[in-house]
């Protein structure tokens, strides 16, 4: 019952309260009118009043029972009890005919009905009330024609008041509906504005994160996590694809464990038209050689709102710029430490790594060896075949040296035709072995003349020094390796010499030209 009461409108509650108030007022009037002892002549009038009051009370009880017990709609219940209400009304009018004391009830009844029923039904209730009023007067024996004009006016007022109230209530309902619709629209607009503001703040945050670092491998997943929370997606993956190279240049995932498999599948696909029925991709950026794919569950992709797609596209555009900046930064950084001709590390990077490796070797009591390599009679090669052939020979020589050492070793161009090889955790004996491999590999390599014919041979002289056996710091290590190289040059070239400091001189070794270069191992010690 309580829950049903809560569903009643304000007008329906007003109708029910109005019935109760009317019943209470009429009951109070009964007490006032008949409080004193009346002659027997008044007994019949008292019975008439009680009968009318009982009919009205029964109708009120019936309405409440129908609404709260049988759960009948208020409008339907009140129309059912309209006839008993009219009968009670006519009785009250007849009772107070001399002074027409109950005429206000004839006005009140259509009014309380007009709170709920429609305007057309209000006309019917008002007309029926007017008929009941006329009938009560028609039955009264002392009704005179001299009051016809006033009577007609009163009859006309009854339905007019009810209709006016019904019209006012209907207008109020329309205005309330308009206000409610406007409030809903305003709330929707406010929600949209709030969402747009939060999206703009998120995009601003994303842009700041994107451009806060050139190390995009760490920034990208953070950005995608913000996007996923913004558009309310539990798991998604983003790929930036270089279509010209047919490779994925960047990818990030949130809430998915099949990131690597998806990336492999993308790299193998010729056209990016979806991965499977459960996880699909859509292009959110496509310009030139770069395309950005946003991948998520198929139903998630299907229900993406235009605003969400716009956000993802805007973020994708920023990501592409950031990736390009990151690639340019890495390229610039690599070029800054790379020799343009040979592709080896340059003198500047060699000095930086020497500082790092000598410090590391000192902290952990490790060996560190340095080879200084110089091409023998390279000026003669240049004079004989030209500088272009000489540049080509230096590039090939660099490649031969790179293939003769481990990945952890560093090969650098020291300057001109002089090179350096840094060997971490390698003692003098291991360094000598590596130096011999390099020397033999270069001696057996056929270099090309200006016509591309591989007919030319080159040799190198190598000096080596080891930390801490020969030197206790970077500068002494360089000096000792350079002195050893000078000794190799003076000793006949095409040979390896180690620093003489604290070590006996290395025995001379004959190097037959037919000896095949050995493959480098992973351990120089």
Residues 112 and 240 grouped into a single domain: no
User: Are 274 and 364 members of one domain?
Assistant: no
pLDDT at 424 over 90: yes
When the pLDDT of each residue in the chain is averaged and rounded to a whole number, the result is 81
Model confidence band, residue 513 (pLDDT cutoffs 50, 70, 90)? very low
pLDDT at 170 over 90: no
pLDDT of residue 192: 74
Q: Give the three-state DSSP class for 492.
A: coil
- The CATH number given to whatever domain includes residue 231 is 3.30.450.40
417 is catalytic: yes
Question: What pLDDT score does 142 carry?
Answer: 66
Domain count, the chain: 3
Same domain, residue pair 448 and 306: no
pLDDT digits (tens, 9 = 90+) for 230-253: 777 778 888 888 877 777 877 777
426 shares its domain with 277:
no
Helix (H) or strand (E) holding 461: strand 460-467
CA distance 71 to 518: 100
Look at residue 354 and tell me whether its pLDDT is greater than 90. Answer: yes
Greater confidence (219 vs 64) lies with: 64
Min mean pLDDT across 118-127, 299-308, 423-432, 512-521 is at: 512-521
- Predicted confidence band of residue 100 (pLDDT cuts 50, 70, 90): confident
Q: 3-state DSSP call for residue 301?
A: helix
Residue 257 lies in a domain: yes
Q: What is the pLDDT of residue 137?
A: 84
Q: What own/partner pairs with CB < 8 Å and gap ≥ 24 does 446-454 have? A: 447/389, 447/392, 447/393, 447/396, 447/397, 448/389, 448/392, 448/393, 448/396, 449/385, 449/389, 450/385, 450/386, 450/388, 450/389
510 pLDDT higher than 50: no
* Whole-number pLDDT of residue 202: 67
CATH code at 421? 3.30.70.270
Asked if the model's pLDDT at residue 68 lies above 70, the reply is yes
Task: Say if residue 300 is in the same domain as residue 161.
Answer: no
Residue 296: strand pairing partners? 280
Kindly state whether residue 510 falls inside one of the protein's structural domains.
Answer: no
Q: Which pairing describes strands 368-375 and 460-467: parallel, antiparallel, or unpaired?
A: antiparallel
Mean pLDDT of 124-137: 89
**Statement to judge: residues 55 and 165 lie in one domain:** yes
Q: Are strands 290-297 and 368-375 parallel, antiparallel or unpaired?
A: unpaired
Query: Is residue 119 packed enough to be buried (19+ CB in 10 Å), middle (13-18) or exposed (0-12)?
Result: middle
pLDDT band, very low/low/confident/very high, at 356 (cuts 50, 70, 90): very high
Q: Are 357 and 398 part of one and the same domain?
A: yes
Whether residue 9 is found in the same domain as residue 86: yes
Task: Report yes or no on 525 lying in a domain.
Answer: no
Three-state secondary structure call for residue 439: helix
Catalytic, out of 12, 357, 417, 480: 417
Q: Are 7 and 152 contained in the same domain?
A: yes
Which residues lie across from 247 on neighbouring strands?
242
Domain boundary among 158, 178, 198: 178
Helix residue spans in 365-503 (DSSP H): 378-385, 387-403, 428-444, 474-490
Asked if the model's pLDDT at residue 36 lies above 70, the reply is no
With respect to residue 192, please indicate whether it lies within any of the assigned structural domains.
no
Is 341 a member of any domain?
A: no
Task: Give the pLDDT of residue 397.
Answer: 95
Strand blocks (E) in 79-230: none
Q: Of all residues in the chain, what percent carry a pLDDT higher than 70?
A: 82
Q: For the residues 274-296, what does the mean pLDDT come to?
A: 74
Q: What does the pLDDT look like over 365-399, one tens digit per residue?
A: 999 999 999 999 999 999 999 999 999 999 999 99
Q: What's the angle, vertex CA 12, arms to CA 10 and CA 18, rounded to 5?
A: 100
Give rounded-to-5 percent helix, strand, coil for the chain: 60, 15, 25
Examine residue 158 and state whether it is found in any structural domain, yes or no. yes
The boundaries of the domain holding residue 70 are 2-178
**For residue 292, is pLDDT > 60?**
yes
Residues 109 and 224 in one domain: no
Domain shared by 406 and 373, yes or no: yes
| 479 within a domain of the structure (yes/no) | yes
Cα 159 from Cα 36, distance rounded (Å): 37
Instruction: Answer yes or no: is pLDDT of 496 > 60.
Output: yes
The reported pLDDT for the residue numbered 494 is: 94
pLDDT in tens, 428-463: 999 999 999 999 999 999 998 888 888 889 999 999
> Are residue 457 and residue 492 in the same domain, yes or no?
yes
* Collapsed DSSP state (helix, strand, coil) of residue 241: strand
Residue at 211 is within a domain? no
Name the burial class of residue 98, with classes exposed (0-12), middle (13-18) and buried (19+) by CB atoms within 10 angstroms of its CB.
exposed
pLDDT value at position 349? 92
């Amino acid at each position: 019952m309580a829950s049903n009461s809560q569903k009643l409108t304000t007008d329906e509650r007003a109708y029910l309260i109005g019935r109760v108030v009317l019943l209470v007022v009429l009951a109070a009037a009964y007490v006032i009118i008949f409080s004193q002892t009346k002659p027997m002549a008044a007994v019949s009038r008292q019975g008439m009043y009680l009968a009318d009051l009982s009919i009205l009370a029964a109708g009120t009880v019936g309405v409440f029972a129908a609404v709260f017990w049988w759960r009948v709609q208020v409008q339907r219940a009140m129309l059912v009890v309209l006839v008993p209400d009219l009968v009670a009304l006519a009785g009250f009018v007849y009772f107070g005919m001399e002074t027409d004391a109950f005429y206000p009830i004839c006005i009140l009844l259509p009014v309380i009905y007009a709170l709920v029923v429609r305007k057309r039904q209000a006309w019917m209730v008002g007309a029926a009330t007017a008929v009941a009023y006329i009938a009560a007067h028609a039955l009264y024996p002392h009704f005179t024609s001299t009051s016809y004009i006033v009577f007609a006016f009163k009859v006309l007022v009854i339905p007019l008041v009810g209709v006016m109230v019904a019209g006012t209530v209907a207008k109020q309902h329309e205005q309330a509906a308009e206000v409610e619709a406007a409030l809903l629209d305003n709330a929707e607009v406010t929600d949209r504005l709030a969402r747009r503001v939060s999206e703009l703040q998120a995009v601003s945050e994303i842009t700041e994160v994107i451009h806060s670092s050139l190390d995009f491998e760490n920034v990208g997943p953070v950005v995608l996590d913000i996007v996923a929370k913004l558009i309310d997606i539990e798991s998604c993956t983003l790929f930036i694809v270089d279509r010209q190279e047919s490779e994925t240049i960047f990818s990030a995932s949130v809430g998915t464990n099949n990131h690597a498999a998806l990336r492999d599948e993308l790299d193998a696909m010729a056209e990016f038209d979806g991965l499977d029925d459960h996880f699909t991709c859509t292009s959110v950026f496509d310009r030139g050689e770069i395309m950005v794919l946003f991948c998520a569950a198929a139903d998630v992709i299907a229900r993406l709102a235009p605003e969400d797609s716009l956000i993802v596209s805007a973020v994708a555009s920023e990501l592409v710029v950031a990736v390009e900046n990151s690639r340019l930064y890495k390229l610039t950084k690599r070029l800054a430490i790379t020799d343009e001709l040979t592709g080896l590390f340059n003198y500047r990077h060699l000095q930086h790594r020497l500082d790092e490796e000598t410090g590391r070797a000192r902290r952990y009591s490790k060996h560190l060896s340095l080879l200084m390599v110089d091409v023998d009679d390279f000026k003669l090669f240049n004079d004989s075949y030209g500088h272009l052939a000489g540049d080509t020979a230096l590039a090939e020589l660099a490649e031969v040296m790179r293939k003769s050492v481990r990945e952890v070793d560093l090969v650098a161009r020291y300057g001109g035709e002089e090179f350096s090889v840094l060997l971490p955790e390698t003692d003098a004996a291991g360094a000598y072995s590596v130096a011999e491999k390099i020397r033999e590999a270069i001696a057996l390599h056929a270099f090309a003349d200006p016509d591309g014919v591989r007919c030319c041979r080159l040799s190198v002289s190598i000096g080596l020094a080891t930390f801490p056996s020969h030197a206790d710091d970077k500068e002494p290590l360089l000096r000792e390796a350079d002195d050893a190289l000078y000794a190799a040059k003076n000793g006949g070239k095409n040979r390896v010499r180690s620093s003489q400091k604290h070590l006996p001189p290395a025995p001379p070794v004959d190097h037959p030209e037919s000896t095949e270069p050995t493959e480098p191992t992973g351990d120089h010690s």
